[in-house]
C-alpha cells in the first residue's frame, strides 16, 4: 500500500512539475483534448521543460541520413500523458504547417521518441529540429516502411488531439 501511494505521489508531482507555467520560448504546443493545461486551453512546453522528462536514447538507421544516428529525448507518450492525453487521434504539425496523422496506438506500442538531440547535439531548424518524431526503426522490422517514415515529422511544433 505504501509503495502504491508513493508511486501515485511521484507521478502526480512529476506531472505538476512538467506543467509549470513556461518560462522561455515555447517549442511545443498540444491542443484539443488536453487537460490540464498551462496556458489558456492548451498545454505548452519549452525545451527546458522537455529536458526534465525521463530521456530515452537509441541509435537507428533512417532514410534521411547515410549512417545510423543517435537520437535522445522524451518519449512522446510521456509528454502526451503530462498533457492529460489518454488516447484519441493525433495530428502532428510542423513549423511549415505540414501535417501528418498518427494513431495513438503507435505511442503505446513503440517507444516513439520526441527527439531533441541528434548525436548528442541540439538540432537546429536546418537539421530537422528543434523536435523530430523518431521511431526505433532498427528494433522493429515492421517500422521500416513508408507508413512510419511519413509519421516521423521533423520541425514538430504542435500536436492536435481529437
pLDDT at 35: 74
pTM (two decimals): 0.84
Tell me the CA distances in angstroms from 25 to 38, 65, 92, one per residue in order. Answer: 14, 29, 19
- Cβ neighbourhood burial of 27 (10 Å; 0-12, 13-18, 19+): buried
- What's the order of all strands across the beta sheet hosting 117-118? 56-60, 69-73, 117-118, 121-122
> Domain range holding 29?
2-161
CA 137 to chain CA mean position, Å? 16
Q: Say how far apart CA 137 and CA 34 lie, in whole Å.
A: 29
Based on the structure, what is the number of domains in the chain?
1
Buried b (16+ CB within 10 A) or exposed e, 105-131: ebbeebebbbbbbbeeeebeeeebbbb
Place of cell 502526480: 12
pLDDT of residue 29: 95
Burial class (CB in 10 A: 0-12, 13-18, 19+), 90: buried
Determine the pLDDT at residue 33: 79
How confident is the model at residue 37, as a pLDDT?
67
Residues of the chain with pLDDT under 50: 1-18
CATH number of residue 47's parent domain:
3.90.420.10
Amino acid at each position: 500500500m505504501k509503495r502504491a501511494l508513493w508511486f501515485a505521489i511521484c507521478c502526480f508531482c512529476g506531472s505538476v512539475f512538467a506543467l509549470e507555467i513556461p518560462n522561455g520560448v515555447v517549442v511545443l504546443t498540444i491542443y484539443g483534448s488536453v487537460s490540464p493545461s498551462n496556458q489558456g486551453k492548451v498545454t505548452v512546453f519549452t525545451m527546458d521543460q522537455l529536458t526534465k522528462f525521463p530521456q530515452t536514447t537509441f541509435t537507428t538507421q533512417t532514410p534521411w541520413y547515410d549512417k545510423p544516428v543517435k537520437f535522445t529525448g522524451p518519449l512522446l507518450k510521456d509528454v502526451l500523458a503530462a498533457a492529460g492525453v489518454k488516447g484519441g487521434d493525433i495530428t502532428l504539425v510542423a513549423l511549415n504547417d505540414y501535417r501528418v496523422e498518427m494513431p495513438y496506438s503507435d505511442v503505446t506500442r513503440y517507444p516513439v521518441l520526441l527527439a531533441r538531440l541528434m548525436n548528442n547535439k541540439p538540432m537546429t531548424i536546418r537539421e530537422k529540429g528543434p523536435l523530430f518524431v523518431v521511431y526505433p526503426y532498427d528494433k522493429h522490422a515492421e517500422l521500416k516502411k513508408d507508413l512510419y517514415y511519413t509519421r516521423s515529422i521533423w520541425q514538430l511544433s504542435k500536436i492536435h488531439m481529437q
